[in-house]
Amino acid sequence: MQPKTWHLFLLSLVLHIAVVMAMGHYHNARLWENGAIATNIYDGKGFSGGLSISDEPTSWQAPAYPYLLAATWSVFGKGANAHLFISSLQCLAIASMVWPMASLSRRWFPSVPVWAVQALAIIAPLYLWYPTRLHHTAFVMALQPWILCAWLSWAGRDVGGSIGAGILTGLSALVQPVLLGVFGIIGLVRLLLSVKSKAWKTTGLLILAALAVVACLVPWTARNYQVHGRLILVKNSFGKEFWMGNNPHATGTGYALGGAEEITSAYPPKAFELRSKVSEMRLMDALKDEAKEWIRDNPTAFLIITAQKIFWFWTLPPKDRVRSTGDAEALLFRGVYLAYWIALLALALAGCLVFRPPVEFYWILGLFIIFYSAIYGLTHVGQARFRGEIEYLFLPAAAAGIAAGLGFVLKRASRGNTGE
């Protein structure tokens, strides 16, 4: 008898909270850029930062996580209790993945027991680690399979499902706007297929889902236009990320050789001379232009480092190019993560060869591979969370690989018992 999903959810939740308690990170939490913005919100300065001018309105980060931090501080105080509460919410989100992962497994590998993919989602190293980080990554990892299920199953089915898919996508984009691109393509493909087949009811419902996405984004986009005077859907940090991956000292990651300093600190861009003199948006423009100028002057070097970044995104970057200070998880868990990733790919390949999933699985996997390779090929790699956001796509196939392996072992054992 298969374990019930509720039981697996509770098991996952307890396990992830146990890891959070064991790490104890919430006593002295590192909050990064989200924390700086949240501090300004908490202090009554609004959604502002200091990338260029001190306390100016910012769009450096998406709004959801900073506001969550600030709201939690207002309830629990700015300290360990608030950070433990947020980490617990992150554990709850990650544990909830057992439902959409089961749905995706049934859709692509219907003959494989769903407990196999649920077990992988429970013990995956990155899903255990990132709830211990006070960062939006855990929520992004947890939301992605829910959104994919929503666009494959809910959107176009009925009014409630379509609106729900749109709202989920729109709110998730306020956590990580990159989601808009890849899921927008999936929604557009579904829309075109429904028009081609003249399924007008489905077409209308998919348009309704898209409108629900827009409705969630409009208030924040209007805010951005009001404070920056330009159209920014959610956030704008591309100039900085683009420069970090394309400059005379670029290593392919966000860090200088040795990993002790971020590349912008070790080799400040010329555009940083404009800090405190121009707005954040103009600074981002200057960083982007500086990177473009380097690419124009060094096209061969650009192509080489872009290819390296894409390769490292799907493998691991060299040790001397990842962060070596602070928690340094890129070095601390390098062996564990490499072994897990190799095993995941090997199992996924075996699962596909044995169970032969539908074409839909391959085109969605291919879309994510191309989309994320392009994003991080243009910017920089080196942090496990970048690829970790989409590794859930490999879990159903890996679960099928486990099922294939178990089936082979049981078959051999049965033959041995019968003397064949």
The reported pLDDT for the residue numbered 420 is: 53
Q: Which of 97, 89, 91, 99 is nearest to 5 (CA)?
A: 99
DSSP assignment string, 164-220: HHHHHHHHHHTT-THHHHHHHHHHHHHHHHHHHTT-HHHHHHHHHHHHHHHHHHHHH
CA angle 344, 346, 350 (to 5 degrees): 115
407 compared with 233, residue with greater pLDDT? 233
Question: Do the strands 48-49 and 56-57 form a parallel or antiparallel pair, or are they unpaired?
Answer: antiparallel
Does the pLDDT of residue 145 top 70, yes or no? yes
pLDDT in tens, 197-225: 999 999 999 999 999 999 999 999 999 99
On average, the pLDDT of the chain sits at 95
266: left (phi over 0), alpha (psi -120 to 50) or beta: alpha
DSSP assignment string, 98-162: HHHHHHHHHHH-TTS-HHHHHHHHHH-HHHHHGGGSSSTHHHHHHHHHHHHHIIIIITTT-HHHH
- Taking residues 153-178, what's their average pLDDT? 97
CA separation (Å) from 113 to 119, 120, 414? 11, 12, 20
Whether the Cβ atoms of residue 59 and residue 224 lie closer than 8 Å to each other:
yes
Query: What values do phi and psi take at 418, rounded to 5?
Result: -90, 0
The reported pLDDT for the residue numbered 164 is: 98
Among the residue ranges 5-9, 149-153, 303-307, 328-332, the one predicted with the least confidence is 328-332
CA separation (Å) from 347 to 274, 293, 350, 351? 51, 44, 5, 6
Whether the Cβ atoms of residue 180 and residue 369 lie closer than 8 Å to each other:
no
Q: What are the tokens at 67?
A: 């506001």
Residues 146 and 204: their CA atoms lie apart, in Å, by 22
pLDDT in tens, 340-385: 999 999 999 999 999 999 999 999 999 999 999 999 999 999 999 9
Residues 103 and 147: their CA atoms lie apart, in Å, by 12
Contacts of 179 (CB under 8 A, 6+ apart): 140, 143, 144, 147, 169, 172, 173
Residues 237 and 240: their CA atoms lie apart, in Å, by 6
Instruction: Spell out the domain ranges in the chain.
Output: 139-232, 236-389
Q: Using CB atoms within 10 Å of the CB of residue 52, give its burial: 0 to 12 exposed, 13 to 18 middle, 19+ buried.
A: buried
Does the pLDDT of residue 331 top 70, yes or no? yes
pLDDT in tens, 221-253: 999 999 999 999 999 999 999 999 999 999 999
Q: Which of 265, 266, 238 is nearest to 380 (CA)?
A: 238
Does the pLDDT of residue 2 top 90, yes or no? no
Whether the Cβ atoms of residue 382 and residue 252 lie closer than 8 Å to each other:
yes
In this prediction, what percent of the chain has a pLDDT beyond 70? 97
pLDDT in tens, 270-317: 999 999 999 999 999 999 999 999 999 999 999 999 999 999 999 999
pLDDT in tens, 83-140: 999 999 999 999 999 999 999 999 999 999 999 999 999 999 999 999 999 999 999 9
Residues 21 and 140: their CA atoms lie apart, in Å, by 22
CA separation (Å) from 395 to 119, 275, 287, 312? 10, 44, 38, 20
Q: What are the tokens at 212?
A: 């629900």
The reported pLDDT for the residue numbered 329 is: 75
The reported pLDDT for the residue numbered 325 is: 81
Does the pLDDT of residue 189 top 80, yes or no? yes
